Structure 1
Amino acid sequence: MTTDPFDRAVARTVAENDDRRRQRRQRARLRRGAGQKKAFQIHAVVFVAVQALLFAIWLASSITDGFDHPWFIYPLLGWGIGLAAHYIAVRNCWRHQPKTGSDARVSYSGQ
């Protein structure tokens, strides 16, 4: 450790800047994770709503014309694969968010 006041001030400034940079990266990671989680939730809600609508259309047309091939399964499976891929991509962001320690004090709002 040096006794020169200038060297101590420089070391303290460098440490503070490193800490600020780390906190800024942490806040950005939390915002990105929250945004991706919200996007996945919207995707899942729209998926369920559209699939329910397609099933209702198939059911209504099948009741009047006789039960036919369940064609609503094809968009269900195709879109379901996309939804599963979206979940897998977003899940990694959820896993890497800190939950304990000093990093847990950095909230989404940056306070």
Structure 2
Amino acid sequence: MPDIRAGDRERERTATDLGQALAQGYLPMAEYEDRLGRAFAANSTGELDTLVADLPVARLRHHDPRRRTAQLRAARLSARIHLVAYLAGSLLMLGIWLAVGLGGGAWYFWPVWPILGWGIGVVGHVIPVMAHVRS
């Protein structure tokens, strides 16, 4: 079966892998430049595969600094969403407590329990995220 024709996306992916190999010390500059030139001249995916066949591509992609940056950005966003949901839920519970207190005269401050419990969850989420951001 003939090789599949390579497109720009495949060439760019191979070029990225080669760049990571250079940055992580798997390729010297001269070999990187040679392989990069051949990657952009390649017509098939088989040609591209041979350019990275001797490289630990999975390890290169795993240690890509852009991957870590994306993971940290996602973790920060997740912590922010959790915090905003917590604040909105707390305000809603306080509003319900106030409405019940004004309407029926029952002033027991029950929102302290769900706010406290949920707050422990938020703190347990935010602290590890912030610790990884600073490291």
Corresponding residue for residue 26 of structure 1: 65
Give the alignment partner of residue 12 of structure 1, picking from 9, 22, 28.
28
Please give the secondary structure, in 2, of the residue aligned with 1:74. helix
Give yes or no for the alignment of 1:88 onto 2:127.
yes
Matches within 5 A, 1:72-83: 72-83=111-122
Give yes or no for the alignment of 1:49 onto 2:65.
no
Corresponding residue for residue 35 of structure 1: 74
Q: How far did residue 92 of structure 1 move?
A: 2.0
How many residue pairs match? The answer is 85
Q: How far did residue 25 of structure 1 move?
A: 2.3
Runs (5+) with no aligned partner, structure 1: 1-9, 97-111
Please give the secondary structure, in 2, of the residue aligned with 1:76. helix
Q: How far did residue 23 of structure 1 move?
A: 9.3
Match for 2:87: what amino acid?
V
Change (3 A) 1:56 1:11: closer
Percent of paired sites with the same residue: 30
Provide the TM-score with structure 1 as the length reference.
Answer: 0.66
Provide the TM-score with structure 2 as the length reference.
Answer: 0.55
Change (3 A) 1:12 1:57: same
Distance 1:46 1:59 in 2: 20
Using CA pairs under 8 Å that are at least 6 residues apart, name the structure with larger relative contact order, 1 or 2. 1
Pairwise CA RMSD: 2.8
Corresponding residue for residue 66 of structure 1: 105
Change (3 A) 1:11 1:43: closer
Q: How far did residue 67 of structure 1 move?
A: 3.9
Distance 1:87 1:11 in 2: 39
